[in-house]
A = this chain, B = another copy of it.
Amino acid sequence: MTKKRTSGTPLPRGQATRERIIGAALEAFAEKGFEGASTREIAERAGTDQGLVTYHFPSKDELWRAAAERIFGDLGKALDERVASLEFDDPKERARGVLREYVRYVARHPELFRFMVAEGNRSNARMRWIIDTYMKPRFEFMKERGVVSAAGIDESDAPYAFYAVTGAASLIFAVAPTCRRLTGVDPRKQQTIEAHADFVARLLLP
């Protein structure tokens, strides 16, 4: 039953805790930024010790990289799945569906946006790699077959559209506690998520 392993392939047990650590790191990095999140806090969130974090990840940088790959990879997978399952003939209706799915995803993963904003004004090698690997394909998709073409937006406006859509869709979930106090609306409620998805879809694809 057990899979044949070549030497060096991680054991399933180790993989699981490794994944837990990445998840904990993602939360911590999104909440406090790279410098603010300590490896000890990440370990505690993951239910282990600090020593184990440095065992699985030789440095904090490596852990950051793993967390970044995880969240951008997950977004890509989730969107690909949903997009494939949407069967609309009308391109605008299809774009609406994609957009609504995107809002639902960022609502469930507010750490994605916080991570983006926290790290987005650095331009080190790792950030550049993330842009080229994960973000470029999304941007090109949106430009050619997504919201931009469906909404009749000029291609030269694609950069503005990309960041306007991303910001409009995500911010409310990234600052949920603030929103609750300011407006009385709780972004964590399903009802709010759908209402915001509606609003954004109407705004961009009337």
Contact = CB atoms under 8 A, between A and B. Distances in A.
Nearest to A173: B163
Specify how many copies of this chain sit in the oligomer. 2
Interface string A168-187: 11111011111101111100
A121 B27 CA distance: 12
Contact of A35 (B35, B160, B169, B185): B35
A199 to B, nearest CB: 4
B182 A172 contact: no
| Chain A binding surface, main DSSP class | helix
A172 B162 CA distance: 9
Given A182-B135, A183-B158, A121 B203 contact: no
A63 B122 CA distance: 24
B36 A178 contact: no
Interface string A89-115: 000000000000000000000100110
Interface residues of A, number: 58
A167 interface: yes
Contacts of A199: 157, 160-161, 164
Contact of A33 (B35, B139, B159, B168): B35
A82 interface: no
Contact of A131 (B35, B164, B181): B181
Interface string A113-149: 1101110111100011001100110010000000000
